[in-house]
Each structure stands twice: as C-alpha cells, then as structure tokens.
A and B are shown apart, each in its own frame.
Chain A
Amino acid sequence: MYATRTRHARPEPFSIRPGIAERLGLAYLDWPLALSALALIAFSVFTLGEATLHDIPGSPRYYVDRQIVYAGLGLIGMVLLARIDYSRFRELRVGIYTFLCVSISLVFVFGFAAKGSRRAFDLPFFSFQPSELGKLLLVLALAGFVIDGARRGSERQRTLRYLVLGLAPAALVFLQPDLGTSLVFAVATLAVMYFGGVRWTHFAIIGGALVALVSLVLVLAPAAGVPLLKGYQEQRLTSFLNPSEDPAGAGYQQNQSVIATGSGQTTGRGDRATQTRLDFVPERHTDFIFAVIGERYGFMGAAFVLSLYALLFWRALRIVTLSKNSYGTLVAGGIAVSLLFQVFVNVGMNLGIMPITGIPLPLMSYGGSSVIATFLAIGVLESIHIQARRSQKGRFAW
C-alpha cells in the first residue's frame, strides 16, 4: 500500500499529466453550463422527432435530421471558441462591428423573402440568418467599444455613443422587418451598457424615452393617421392583452398555444396531443415549440426545460462574476441577459403573457442560424470561464 503510493507519487505541480479535457484545451470548462446546453438541444431533437413526423409528407425526419446537423456544427463551434482567448475579440471589435452591419444590410439585397420579411440568405444547405449571429457579434463588439472608450469623452457623450452603436444594427434588423430580433439587439445593447457602468440617471432617461416612444408608436401615431408598425406587428403586440376577442387573427394563435400548453396538464398528452398535432398551433417547430413540449410532456416536461434554462442563466451570470477582466464581464453579461430575454419572451409568448414577437427559443426552436449562434455564444462564455480559472490558478497547462 505504502509502496504503491510511492511508485505513483508525482511531483507537484510540474508533472500533471493532462486529462482528456485538458488535451482538448477544455480544462476548467464550466461543465454545468455545457451540459445544460447539451440537454436542451437533446430535448429539442427528441421533441422535433416526435412532433414533426407528419409535417412534411414522405420525410418524417426532415426537421430532426437537420436539427441534429445544426447541433453538431454548433457544438464544434462552441468547443473551438472555448479554446480561444475571448480577449482577442476586443481587438477585433471594429472588424466584428463592420461585418455585423454589412451582413445584416446585405440581406436587403441578396436575402430571400419569407412570410413578408427578408432576413436570411439562401445558402446551398441552409438559410443563413445574419441577425441571429449578430446577437453575439453585437455584444462582442459593443463590449470592446465600451472598454476602449472608457476614458474618452464625457459620460453623457459615452452613453450616447453606445446607444447609437447598438441601436444602428437594431434599426437595420427592425427594417427587415424582424421586430423580435431587433428587440434582442436593443436589450443586449442596454445590458452591455449596464455592466459597463453607465449611470443610473442615464438609464432613467433612456427608460423615459422608451415609454414615450412606445406610446408614440402604438397610440399617438395611429391616432394621427401615421402608422409606424405594420398592421400585423401592432396587432401581435397588442392582441395578447385580450386574445379571445379576436379568435381569427393574431390572438387566435396565442389562444391555441395557451390551450395546448394547458391541456398538457401535469404529465402531458403524448401522442394524443391534438392541439399541436392537428395544426391548431402554428409554427410549432419554431416559435411555438414550447407549447408542443407543454402539451406533449405536461408540466413535468415543460418545467424540466425551464429549469435547464434557469441553470444556464445562473451559470452565465456566475461567469460574469468570475471574469478575469472587465471585457469578459461585459461580454458575459450581455450574453446572459439576452439569453434570459429571449427565453422569457418566447416562453411568455407561448404561455400567453407576452406578445407574439417571433423570437425563437434558444437551443429548442428548429433553425440552423439560431442553434449555431447560441452554441457559439455559450462557447464564448466557456472561454471566459476557462481564462478566469487559469489566471486564478496562476498556472497554464501547456
């Protein structure tokens, strides 16, 4: 016993043999974060496999197979990003920002229109929606600008500069038109500014301006005969307040989604899930996938999924506190808040407490751009975690 220990005794700290994670460059990975993301995408594939069997006659695995490919690509991207020191992105902020704005603008020229909106390019194997990746790019670039400009100009000038930098791409996305994603851009902008230390008074002013803008768009402008939102956009935003009044329009979808979720009860209806199987709920593989989960797997399934998101958010927020530098703090904060926003708005929309805005549920809704972009964002979070842990230990594996 004693002899054995001597034989295997290894001198600290120089001869640690790297484990598999370390050899992959993934030592100090935040496993709960990665695993919750994996669990979510696995649940997504499982749900799509059961619920979209008959959506495309003749190819029951259409959505599942594609979602598996997207998940695989996303995972590879996540691992690659986790291995890179995210601080590089700070140096590349101008390039990232330019790419963001150009790619979103190009959609107007080369993008294809779907359901009255131009938001994606048609690539050979899937349609690439730049605004999905843009959510991450905006955070990476804006956090860079905030850190870089921390000593230039007055505080008011700085706040104004961040707002313009963040809201310009948001406006481009809004014009596609894609109201939901532009809201995510705006929230990410505010989150980065928030963690960047912008004064509370400035936020109060921004909040006041926002209230004024909303009342202008929804109340004053239509009253003056100048509608700023497209009819369906306004209808979607307001009809959730009273869905049963308008069973034929936008409220209909939400009503059906609420009925679907509610009818799942505690344990779910499984294959007898008529609401989501029989076309009552629209867009059931994308925006309303949570209603599918609610109906098929009941409170147990839906609460499980929500818990995974809560875990994900907690780990993200924890990384904000761990970051070795303030750039990491800002990036992690921006990602954490925009994930929280997307989950809340989408699930809230499925449950009838938020308006229909067309925001996909990260890692759950079918769609390559969203799945891959979310994995990349998690890869950045992991990178921040890994860098933080390495610097804390004061030791580098290789």
Chain B
Amino acid sequence: MALRIALVGGVGVALFGLLFFRLWDLQVLSGSEYLAEAKNNRTREYRVVAPRGNILARDGEVLVDSRTALALQLNPQRLSSEPAEERTELARIGSLAEMSLRKVRRTIAESEEVAAGAPVTLRKDVDYDLVYYLRENQARFPGVDVQRVFVRHYPHEAFAAHVLGGVGEVSEEDLEDPHYRELEPGDEIGRGGVEDTYDDYLRGEPGLTRIQVDAAGQPTPGGQLVSKPPVPGDNLKLSIDPDVQSAGEGALAARGLRGAFVTMNVNDGEILGMGSFPTFDPEVFTKPMTQAQVDQLQRDPVSAPLTNRASQGLYPTGSVFKIVPALAALESGIVTPSETIVDNGFMYVGSQRFQNAGGESYGAVDLVSAMRYSSDIYFYLLGLKMWDGGQLQRWASKLGFGHLSGLDLPEETEGLVPSQRWRNQLYEEGATERPWSAGDNVQLATGQGDLQASPLQMAIAYAALANEGTIVTPHVGLEIEDAAGRVLKEFTPQPQRRIEIDPAYRSALLQGLHEAAQVDGGTSYGIFGGFPVPVAGKTGTAERLGQADQSWYVVLAPYPKPRIVTAVTMEEGGFGAESAAPAALAILEAYFDKQATTVAGPNGGSPG
C-alpha cells in the first residue's frame, strides 16, 4: 500500500513539475515572443453592415431601396508612427477624400472613441475614377481601402419625401440611448418619416466577420474565423396609393404655393396620400451637402421644405371648421337642423361688426343652407350663443383639435383651440392685452382667430362625421414584409376614441356639405358640380395677418357613405374654391379614376 501511495505521489510530483516547467517556459523563457504575438494579434472583428429594408407603396411599387456604393475607409493602425510623417499621410488622404486635415483627424478620433481599431469610414459613395486612382497609387495612401456599403436610393426622387423621411448617421447622443445599444458610429438610423418610426423593422442586424490579417493588413487565406451573416432589414409597405399621392403632389406643384394635402380612409385611418410643398429630394441626405443646399433646406423659415405641412402646418382654417360649431350647437341643443336664422349679411357683437365674406346676405338660412352657402352670420350666431359655455371648445377637442393624433410619423404638432381659460390665463400673465370675449368665440366659429389646426386634424374631424363618430388613428405604415413578400406584421392601430353623434345631425350636416359641393349655388359647385361621383365638401378661406388669404378644402366621398376624406390647404391661395378645391378634385379624379366635366356656376368667385 505504501508503495502504491508513494507511486501516486511520484506521479503527482511529475505532473506538477511538468506544468511548472511548461509555465516557466511559456511565460519566463519565451514570454516576450508571446507578448509580441499578442500585441500583433491581427484577428480583427469586422461588422458587416446589413442592408436596410425597402419601403413600398400600397401596390408594391418600390419607393426606397438600397444600392451598393463604394466607401473610402482608413485603417488608422497602418499610418506611420512618426507624427510628422503621419501628418503628411493624413493630409494626402484628406485631399483624396476631399476633406480637410482637421476633419480627417476629427473623424478618426470620433470613431476610435467607440470602436478602437475598426476601420474609419471617411467618405461614402465615391466614384470609380477615385477607386482606380487609389489602386494605382496605393503606396501613397497607406491604410486606405475601398469597401462596399449600402446607400439609400429613391427611384422616384422627391415622391412622398415627407412621409418617407431619410436616414442619417447615428449621433453620439443617440448611442447613449439604450434603444440603440448595438449600434456603432457610422451606422445609419432613420431620421424623420417612416424611416424613423419603423427604424427597428427596417434596420436589420449587422453581421460579424473575424478576419486574420497578415503584417501588411491583407487577409490571410482561409483566415476568416467566425462569421455571423448580417440579417437584412424587413420591408415596410405603406398605405400610400401612388396615384393619389402623385395627383396630390402634382396639384400642389402646379400651383407652386406652399401647402399640403392629406387623403385618408375615413374608417381605418389609412393614409392614401400625404404631401407638402415645397418638398425636397431625400437623396441629398445620402451625400455630403453643399452650404447652398443646407441653406435651402434648413435656413429658410418661410419655405421650410423639410416641414411636413400636412401634419405640422398650424393654420387658421376658415369655414372648413364650421362642422365643429354646427355639431357642438346641435348636440348641446342650442339649435336644431331645421331652425332658421335670418342672415342680413352683418351683425354686431358689442361694438364689433361682423359680416359675411364679400358682404353677401342669404336671408333665412337653416343648417343645410348655411353650410351650402357658407353663411358666416349663421355660425357667428352659434359662436355667440356658446361664447362662455365651452361647448365649442369641448367638441373641437373631442374631434381631435389641439391634440396629437398618434400619426406614425415623428413630425406632428398638436395645434391650439383657443378657449376662455387659455386666453384669461395669458391675460393674467400679461401675455395678451385683453381677456376672453364673445368676439373670440365668434371668430373661432368660422375657423378664425387664434385657432391653429393642421390639414390632418381637419381630415380626422371630417372622417369622424363620415364614419359615425370614430376618431381614427391615422397611419401610413401598413405592414412589415420579409424579402420574399411574406407579411410579418400588420399595423391596424386602434381608433383614438369613439364619440356620440346623433345620426339625424350627421345626415343634415353631410347633406349641407354635399349641397355646398354639388348643388347649384354651393360654394364649390363650380369645381365639383361636374364630378360624376357624389361628394360632400367644404371650402375654407382663412384670413391671415400680413399675407393673402389661405385656401382650404375638405371633401368626403362618395356621398352619402364616404370612404375617403381629402383635406387640402394652400398658403396665400385665396378663396377655398380658387386653389384648394381644384387640387382636391384632382386627387378625387385620380382615386375614382373619373374626370369632372365643366359646369356653369360661380368658379373661384365664391368666398367661404
């Protein structure tokens, strides 16, 4: 037994001795070689960027895809270690990339901060001439290489630009957001539009390649160690109908006025078309911009082409707002549909004189005819009766004014419904010279005064009238598809809320709107009188301080069971029937694929 134990002890001594010897050999005797090897360990992990998903129109038409482009990359480790020499090299590389020495240094420093050792992208989308030049003079540009990258491509240029948005390099603040944790500098994320909202679906997942490179920085044969293929982003299908969209954009561009349109399904809030003028070509964001381009896009507060006026434009709306006081007064029992008011063409509130636009007078008007002729006096009186009851403000709020709608674009503003409380508070703070008065509510009843609303809000309110009280959640995202076209996810947002609208009031209002558009004498009869599809539409002419009137038109079609709503506005477009109504007609013609015939009647002359 003692022998056996001694033998095991001996084996133990031998094995431990072997380990000690090996350890001594590795670390003390040849440690410096291994240290050099560790420092020189040239397996590097590279991210393989995933292509972003495409964005498709309702019918599958590609609105945005990605093309491969060539990017100039620099591996800073290959630069000279001599500061003076490194400077010359960087300057030379900078001239190749059309960057100043300072900018090259800054780009490298920014990248090193987060992903040390990774190649730095100096410029994306360089042309082949530069690549050939680089190949022939490679020795003069140490560490510079050309990589394939993906760049956003817009086959239809500015088409639906405000809906699509763009992509941009992730910023340092973004990277601190845990949401973007797996991103690295140089990665692209959606900036604005659906590119932003649906970024998670579109972005995809980068892959990883671990490559062994030799001392010259060239990959060694078979040296690709671990590889995780990139996962391309999924495709996003929009509810945008290209026919409606191009009709709307064409109509805006034809007049050349700042403005916007939105066409929406009244039942589910799917947006068929949404546009804003002036617009921009998202392609400009994929390349370095010239100062002139920056100025044109961002510095001009009047034309502001990046603003989506359909959801961010805040305007007084003129008479298109009249459905709101009508509903408020009807539902509060202040007026009945058949009750008539004598419209003499003018009235006084205190010492303030109010009159119909153009000084017209319509005699005895009920709800339907007040809508048809757009009698201001009728609605002034409603506004006066509700001046301190808050009914008008309550109904405006119920219909969505003054609130964000939940639109799936980051660009949306909530606007303002002026109220007694709001103005009195401002007055107490000294921000305005007078408290709330009856005149304010009278103004509001015709969409004037301090009201600020967007075409989208107007469309939602009219949609609620059409669909019997559902305040829809507007959205442009329809579904997520994989590359093979399989639907992965559908977007059917719940309506924001439901409100009660008496069916009798609803049909009276729709009838008034229908007569305004398609019965002789209606405010937009000259435009829609010859349109074969029955519609219900309202003109609006908003007075704005210091500029010409703003033209509005909102239309529901087909009457009496509307499927879609279209709202159009044009700044400085004059009367509603003058510029906004013809644009709305062009959109409806495209949607129903039917042309309007010309009818005799007041064309563009009728205010309202």
Binding site for B on A (CB under 8 A): 57, 191, 194-195, 197, 247-248, 252, 256, 258-266, 269, 274-275, 279-280, 294-295, 298-299, 302-303, 306, 309-310, 313-314, 317, 320-321, 329, 333, 336-337, 340, 344, 347-348, 351-353
- Residue B20 at the chain A interface, CB threshold 8 Å: yes
When distances are taken between beta carbons in the complex, the residues of chain B under 8 Å from A314 are 9, 12
Q: Are A259 and B22 in contact, with the CB atoms below 8 A?
A: no
**Among the listed A195, A264, A275, A309, which residue makes an inter-chain contact with B41, where contact means beta carbons less than 8 Å apart?**
A275
Query: How far, in whole Å, are A299 and B604 apart by their CA atoms in the complex?
Result: 93
- Chain B residues with CB under 8 A of A347: 19
How many Å from the CB of B39 to the closest CB on chain A?
Answer: 7
- Chain B residues, Cβ within 8 Å of A195: 1, 4-5
Q: Contacts A252-B225, A353-B22 known; A313 to B35 CB distance under 8 Å?
A: no
Residues on B with beta carbons closer than 8 Å to the beta carbon of A302: 23, 27
Judge if B339 is at the interface, Cβ distance under 8 Å: no
Given contacts A279-B45, A353-B22, 6 further A-B contacts (CB under 8 A): A197-B1, A258-B34, A299-B28, A333-B8, A344-B16, A352-B22
B9–A310 CB distance below 8 A = no
Q: How far is the CB of A37 from chain B (nearest CB, A)?
A: 17
Give A147 to B45 CA distance when docked, in angstroms. Answer: 57
Check: B43 CB closer than 8 A to any chain A CB: yes
Whether B37 contacts A247 by the Cβ 8 Å rule is no
Knowing A263-B38, A274-B41, the reply to whether A351 touches B1 (Cβ < 8 A) is no
The reply to whether the CB of B18 lies closer than 8 angstroms to some CB of chain A is yes
Q: Look across to chain A and name the residue whose beta carbon is closest to the beta carbon of B33.
A: A262
Is B28's CB under 8 angstroms from A259's CB?
no
Q: Which residues of B contact A321 (CB under 8 A)?
A: 2, 5
Whole-angstrom CA separation of A217 from B12 in the bound complex: 28
Give chain B residues whose Cβ lies under 8 Å from the Cβ of A317: 5, 8-9, 12
Q: Which residues of B contact A303 (CB under 8 A)?
A: 20, 23-24
Decide if B294 is an interface residue (CB 8 Å cutoff).
no
In Å, the complex CA distance between A353 and B18 comes to 10
In the complex, what residue of chain B is closest to A279 when comparing beta carbons?
B45
13 A–B contacts, CB within 8 A, in A order: A195-B5, A197-B4, A262-B35, A266-B27, A266-B28, A275-B38, A299-B28, A302-B27, A306-B19, A317-B9, A344-B18, A348-B22, A353-B18
For A294, give the chain B residue with the smallest CB separation: B27
| B27–A261 CB distance below 8 A | yes
Q: Is the CB of A344 within 8 A of B31?
A: no
Q: Which residues of B contact A265 (CB under 8 A)?
A: 27-28, 31-32, 34-35
**Which chain A residues border B4 with CB–CB below 8 Å?**
194-195, 197
Question: In the complex the two chains form, is A262's CB within 8 Å of B12's CB?
Answer: no
Q: Within the complex, what minimum Cβ distance (angstroms) separates B299 from chain A?
A: 41
**Distance A333 CA – B19 CA, assembled complex (angstroms):** 21
Q: Across the interface, which residues of B come within 8 angstroms of A353, CB to CB?
A: 18, 22
Decide: A248 and B34 in contact? CB cutoff 8 A.
no
Q: A262 to chain B: which residues have CB within 8 Å?
A: 26-27, 30-31, 33-35, 37-38
With A247-B212, A333-B8: A266-B31 Cβ-Cβ less than 8 Å? yes
- Provide the residues of chain B in CB contact with A275, threshold 8 Å: 38, 41
B224 adjacent to chain A (CB < 8 Å)? yes
- Contact present for A299 and B27 (CB under 8 Å): yes
- B-chain residues with CB within 8 Å of residue A294 when the two chains form the complex: 23, 26-27
Within 8 Å of chain A (Cβ to Cβ): is B223? yes
Specify the chain B residue showing the minimal Cβ separation from A194.
B4
Beta-carbon nearest neighbor of B23 in chain A: A302
Compute how far the CA of A303 lies from the CA of B23 in the bound complex, rounded to whole angstroms.
8
Chain B contacts of A306 at CB under 8 A?
16, 19-20, 23
- Give the 9 A-B residue pairs with the shortest CB-CB distance, closest first: A262-B34, A265-B31, A263-B38, A299-B27, A263-B35, A262-B26, A263-B34, A344-B15, A351-B22
Question: Does B181 belong to the interface (CB within 8 Å)?
Answer: yes
Interface contact A299-B32, CB-CB below 8 Å:
no
Scan residues 372-393 of chain B and give those whose CB is less than 8 A from a CB of chain A.
Answer: none
Q: Is B222 an interface residue (CB 8 A)?
A: yes
Task: Return B117 CB to nearest CB of chain A, in Å.
Answer: 9
| Residues of the A chain whose Cβ atoms lie less than 8 Å from the Cβ of B41 | 256, 259, 274-275, 280
Contact A299 B24 (CB under 8 A): yes
Tell me if B8 and A336 are in contact (CB < 8 A): yes
B24 → A minimal CB distance (Å) = 7
B30: nearest chain-A partner, CB-CB: A262
Residues in A whose Cβ lies below 8 Å from that of B30: 262
Q: How far is the CA of A197 from the CA of B11 in the complex (A)?
A: 18
> Considering the chains assembled together, what is the distance between the CA atoms of A248 and B220 in angstroms?
11
What distance in Å separates the Cβ of A125 from its nearest Cβ neighbour in chain B?
26
The answer to whether A274 and B23 touch across the interface, beta carbons within 8 angstroms, is no
Task: Provide the residues of chain A in CB contact with B2, threshold 8 Å.
Answer: 321
Closest to A200 in B: B4
Q: How far is the CB of B604 from the nearest CB of chain A, in Å?
A: 64
Chain A residues, Cβ within 8 Å of B5: 195, 317, 320-321, 333
Which B residues, 168 to 201, have Cβ-Cβ distances below 8 Å to chain A?
A: 181
**Contacts of B23 on A, CB cut-off 8 Å?**
261, 294, 299, 302-303, 306, 351
- Which of B15, B39, B181, B212 has the largest count of A CB atoms less than 10 A from its CB? B15
Q: Which A residue sits closest to B41, measured CB to CB?
A: A280
Are B39 and A274 in contact, CB atoms less than 8 angstroms apart?
yes
A337→B15 CA distance, assembly (Å) = 12
Contact B27 A348 (CB under 8 A): no
Contact between chains at B34 and A259 (CB < 8 Å): yes
Question: Which residues of chain A come closer than 8 Å to B224, judged between CB atoms?
Answer: 248
Bound state CA distance, A248 and B4, in angstroms? 44
> Would you call A259 and B27 a contact (CB within 8 A)?
no
Please indicate the chain A residues that have their CB under 8 angstroms from the CB of B32 in the complex: 265
Task: Report whether B8 and A264 are in contact in the complex, using a CB–CB cutoff of 8 Å.
Answer: no
Query: Complex Cα distance A191/B5, Å?
Result: 11
Among A252, A261, A329, the residue within 8 A (CB) of B34 is A261
How far is the CB of B463 from the nearest CB of chain A, in Å?
Answer: 45
User: Is B8's CB under 8 angstroms from A247's CB?
Assistant: no
Distance, CA A302 to CA B27, complexed state (A): 10
